[in-house]
Amino acid sequence: MLLQPQQQDMNTLLHNMCAQILSLTTQLTKIQAAPAAEPTVEQKFNKKVEIVADPSTFKGDRAQFAEWWIKANWDMFADDFEIATAVLSRLKGPVAGRYTQVRLQECYTVGVWPTWDDLKVEIKKYFKPQAERDWARQQICSFKQGSMRTDDYITWFLALSIQGGLGNEHAVELLECNVNPHIAEQIYLQDIQSDNLALAAEEVQQHLPLSVAPARQLLGCLILVKIKIKT
């Protein structure tokens, strides 16, 4: 008995659908049985960045350079490309950001990435002096004498002034504001304020109530201040 044309079309459609289902099932089985695809370099890098403690960003003008640098000494990366990219990507801001932009462009163009040891030396060269100056300036702005001996205070104040590279006028103003109020009052009443940091330090030293300055230590700081002013 011959099948009607409509019945033949239906049987053909069912046959084709079964074949497609079988094909899809076979493909799915192969995919599930296959080993996981090897992650790309970018995926590996991003995964490692996720599990490394974030040292935040260093903007080239922070006093927390030492703390940032310790956290940034990562050892979880496989090669120079990974470690250099990870560290340089954290350098941001007006100073560090420009350095990063130029350095990354140079590396991509040449195709050569600095070793970890070379990169550490390079970053220290560019940013550590600036960070130390910023730290000294922050310290000296809030460095009040309090109960500290006057001779010790002057010695530390002059050292911070030199390290911070403060201008003469600004340093004198900070010294007069932060020294013992009784000494500042005596200098003001006697009208012997000086615009020169070395002379201002000597004036404060002359008003020591009980202590005697350690001559060599104080003299050395005063000489450094005078040399700095002349240059």
Apex CA 40: angle with CA 34 and CA 42, to 5°? 150
184-209 burial string, b = 16+ CB within 10 Å, else e? bebbeeeeeebebbbbbbebbbebee
Q: Is the pLDDT of residue 215 over 50?
A: no
Tens-digit pLDDT profile for residues 103-162: 888 888 888 888 888 888 888 777 777 777 778 888 888 888 888 887 778 888 887 887
State which of 72-86, 88-102, 141-155, 186-200 shows the largest mean pLDDT: 141-155
pLDDT at 36: 57
DSSP string over 34-93: SPPPPPPHHHHHHHHHHHSPP---B-SS-S-HHHHHHHH-----SSHHHHHHHHHTTB-S
The average confidence (pLDDT) of the chain is: 70
Q: Which of 106, 107, 65 is nearest to 83 (CA)?
A: 107
Q: Is the pLDDT of residue 189 over 80?
A: no
Query: pTM of this prediction?
Result: 0.39
